[in-house]
A and B are shown apart, each in its own frame.
Chain A
Amino acid sequence: MGDDKEWFCNKVEELQRSLYLLSYSILRNNEDACDAVQEAIWRAYENLDTLRDQDKLKPWLLKILSNVSLGMLRSRRGELSLDEFPDEPVSDASVDINTRMSLWDAVEKLDPAYREVVVLYYYEQFSVKEISRIMDIRPDTVKKRLSRSREKLKNLLDNSRDKETGNI
């Protein structure tokens, strides 16, 4: 079991960035993301014997984290489903119009349900099928969300580029 702990700790350290990005993409608050990740790590460790394939630790841990983060978000906002959450108000305050908007700046402007698929697909490079398992939603829904996310991201990044080049 000691070896298991060492293996688990090493793996979790390697996955830190992914854990942060996913949790933050759902909660958009550093403190909450820290709490959610701590909770998820603890839960994962406690249930480590249910992980049959060690190579699947990353998607398994991200799935636990996604659930924990959504649970926190729901209790923070009431029992709405993720799709029902209102759009975050779009603000350009954090982006200097003289510099190109980074992809992450644009991702932050998406709705929570879109942010999560974008993080898993583009940043973590999971397949649609894997994302559907992590998020517990149908592959079609993942595709739909990805497609809408792409459109929104394209608009956001294009507008930013236009502003940068003065083509408004």
Chain B
Amino acid sequence: MNSFDRKLRRLAKEEYPEIPGKFSDAVNQVLSALPEQKRRRPSFWRKPALITLQVFAVLAAAILILPNLSPGIAHALGDIPILGDFIRVITIRNYSYEDEYHKLDAQIPSVDMGGDAAAEINDDVDKLTETIISKFQEDMTSIGDSGHTYLSIDYEVVTDDQDWFTLKLQVYQGSGSSSVTYKYYHIDKSTGNIIELSDLFENDDYIDTISSYILEQMIAEMEEDPQKSYWVDSQYEDWNFSTISPDQNFYFNSSGEMVIVFDEYEVAPGYMGTPEFAIPFITRDSLGI
């Protein structure tokens, strides 16, 4: 077998398989997304694909310059009717670009309502989306015709009734592999304030209560369906789900139940998408909303 062994080694050296171009793109993306300072992954923008949170920190008030892109004002008035107490959301900017290798389609929302809450949300959305689009443009320039990139930014009004308003910002990025990230903004209409998860509870007990329930659900789902996988007993302890964060993404479903939303890769492998868990014992009624 020795001579055959030598033959195998020789063939392995001579006929080393080619790597697909997409694979190199994927490696380069994750490397460029690694933070300078090694640290735990940020709770938001967790996907190691194109964008990382530290980009937010370096965001200056620089005006977004996008040659070859066509920013325009697109008033989507037809989409969202103006109804009494209802909050109007318009597409304030629309970026689109497409060539053989790169595609951008971004609808940037603006909450059209007076007051600090709307201004704060609009400011956050602007900074976030400008950063993402700038990064897309950088990637587009550096990748050129050696790979493909895709960015789509969209939004959805999840809830808008007499008492509550929720806007969901959706970011889809593709290049080598794809990622989806959401950010939810809430306004309590009775106070006009922006609400984060922690604002809904008097003390911190909710963190353990909700986290324990979610952990049980994760385990139950995996037992029921072996295709499902959450990080609950990974040998990399840092990866295991422990608790939700005070600013965890959430929304209320049509039954009024709170739904906790995780980013892609936050609590599960990428193929699990953005896992959501309804918390049946925390509802708008129970919270007095």
Contacts and interface: CB of A to CB of B under 8 A. Distances in A.
Given A31-B177, A38-B177, A17 B26 contact: no
Interface in A88-110: 102-104
Given A33-B23, A67-B235, 13 more contacts: A9-B34, A13-B31, A20-B19, A34-B26, A35-B270, A37-B26, A42-B48, A46-B238, A49-B38, A75-B226, A75-B227, A104-B15, A150-B8
Given A5-B36, A9-B34, A78 B20 contact: no
Given A38-B177, A47-B236, A17 B31 contact: no
Interface of A is mostly: helix
Interface string B183-217: 00000000000000000000000000000000000
Interface of B: 1, 4-5, 8-9, 11-12, 15-17, 19-20, 22-24, 26-31, 34-38, 40-41, 48-49, 176-177, 226-229, 235-236, 238-239, 265, 269-271
10 contacts: A1-B37, A13-B27, A21-B17, A30-B20, A34-B23, A34-B26, A35-B269, A103-B8, A150-B8, A153-B8
A86 interface: no
How many chain A residues sit at the interface, stated as a range, is: 35 or more
Contacts of A4: 38
A38 B26 contact: yes
Contacts of B41: 42, 46
Contacts of B238: 46-47
A43 B48 CA distance: 10
Given A5-B34, A42-B34, A154-B4, A17 B27 contact: no
A12 B227 contact: no
A38 B27 CA distance: 6
A154 B3 CA distance: 11
Contacts of A30: 20, 22-23
B22 A45 contact: no
A96 to B, nearest CB: 15
A34 B235 CA distance: 22
B9 A122 contact: yes
A47 to B, nearest CB: 7
Contacts of A38: 26-27, 29-30, 48-49, 176-177
A120 to B, nearest CB: 11
B176 A34 contact: yes
Contacts of A45: 34, 38
Nearest to B11: A103
A159 B28 CA distance: 40
A49 B34 CA distance: 15
